[in-house]
Amino acid sequence: MTSTRTTFSRRGFLGLTAAAASVPLLAACGGGSASQGGGSAGGTIKFWDMPWATPALNDASRKLTEGFSGANSKANYQIIQWNNFYQTFSSAIASKTGPAVSTGGGFQAFQFEQQGQIAYADNLIETLKKNGMYDDFLPGVVEPFKTDKGYVAVPWHLSMRVMWYRKSLFEQAGVDVPKDWATLLEAGKALKKIGAVGFATGAGAGNNIGNQAMIMMMINNGGGVFSKDGELDVMNDRNVEATEFLLELVSNGIIDPAAVSYTSANLDAQWKDKKAAFGAHVSQMDTRVGDTSGDLIVASPIAGPHGDKGGLVFPNNIMMYTNTPSQEASEAFLVYYLGQLKELWKQKLMNALPVFKSIAELPEFASDPNNVKIVREWQPIAKTLAAQGDKLNANLAVLDGGQALNQFTQTILTGKTDAKSALQAFESGLKTVLKK
């Protein structure tokens, strides 16, 4: 699995999805122009997929797709590149040449739902309950996709942000792996003395690990950008406390002073070159940076000052569209495809967390102790960008990878601010772009 493609694929869809806020919405009257195809199956289901990892993954996905023959239908497969992907989908949907089913941006389904172009997955969910597949989902992965009108999508893999550490550097520094914020600060100071980075991150061009670390630390303190009912809640006390702690890490040199300019390649090199000792990163980071020696280990979740624990998760999903030759066939294809996902992990083509417990138990996945720890310790406590709430929505595309969050992260990493001023600027930036 090459790191370059993985880096772009993960951030590509979330960062580029954020740009969707500037793309005019399709006419919302579209219900009449879409082909619902409700009753009779048949026709060819167009499945659009993204380059999530190496070309071998897409080759395998194509074979799975072309193996479908249910509901008197077949399916064809098309790869859509991340570059300008939202415009590609928008144009195709407007001209009724788009897919019936697709993967895509993390919040894409919510954006197209606003335009009346998403076919709700409620019947599909009921089918999954009847055939036993619903009970195989990991806890809490389906509900974020439920809106007042129905389920806009179903999850198919999870992109996790977890804390990693390099065992040899902690041994060299003579300090334990952090269990809470106090010991993170203590360890960071000891690691600095041996020239290691105690909280590795970056906010340079194309690198959103820094953005995600900011939100992750808020969640780790029981905070988050939104309230439980989805209202903007940047200035809550827990966010202020988390930001103050991040600034303390900066002032103590525990965060590299150059991190504000580190690209993904810079950050990954810091981990590979045994300079980074602790920090937030993607699952299977060891594979990504090319060090599977066992020295890079997923840490257990650390506790915030009030005892809170939490990680950050991006639940990637598959959605159905109203413009389909047959809604019955769309659903039949998706049931089939979800049932075949295990083949992608068996072939070790996926570098993300599966959404099904049975896949997480496959030897090809469970043989990696880091994978096991993420499933057991991080997935149950992970929250989405909707935290403190738990329902996804289109506004999250504007938050993730947007200018307001980028500027907040860069301001914190330079250390030339105080917590409340930085958060107030962050809140003001979000208010100008978030939809009411």
18 CB-near residues (< 8 Å, 6+ apart): 397, 398, 399, 400, 401, 402
Query: Using an 8 Å Cβ cutoff, are 419 and 394 in contact?
Result: no
Question: What does the domain layout of the chain look like in residue ranges?
Answer: 3-159+313-383, 161-312+386-431
Q: How far apart are CA 175 and CA 304, in angstroms?
A: 19
CATH architecture of the domain covering 3-159+313-383: 3-Layer(aba) Sandwich (3.40)
Q: How far is CA 434 from CA 90, 106, 215, in A?
A: 20, 17, 17
Which two tokens mark 126?
Answer: 């009921």
Which two tokens mark 243?
Answer: 């930001």
- The CATH number for 161-312+386-431, chosen from 3.40.190.10, 1.10.1130.10, 3.50.30.30, 3.30.310.50, is 3.40.190.10
Which two tokens mark 367?
Answer: 């043989």
Per-residue pLDDT of the chain (436 residues; tens, 9 = 90+): 333 333 333 333 343 333 333 333 332 222 323 333 334 567 899 999 999 999 999 999 999 999 999 889 999 999 999 999 999 999 999 999 999 999 999 999 999 999 999 999 999 999 999 999 999 999 999 999 999 999 999 999 999 999 999 999 999 999 999 999 999 999 999 999 999 999 999 999 989 999 999 999 999 999 999 999 999 999 999 999 999 999 999 999 999 999 999 999 999 999 999 999 999 999 999 999 999 999 999 999 999 999 999 999 999 999 999 999 999 999 999 999 999 999 999 999 998 999 999 999 999 999 999 999 999 999 999 999 999 999 999 999 889 868 999 999 999 999 999 999 999 999 999 999 987 6
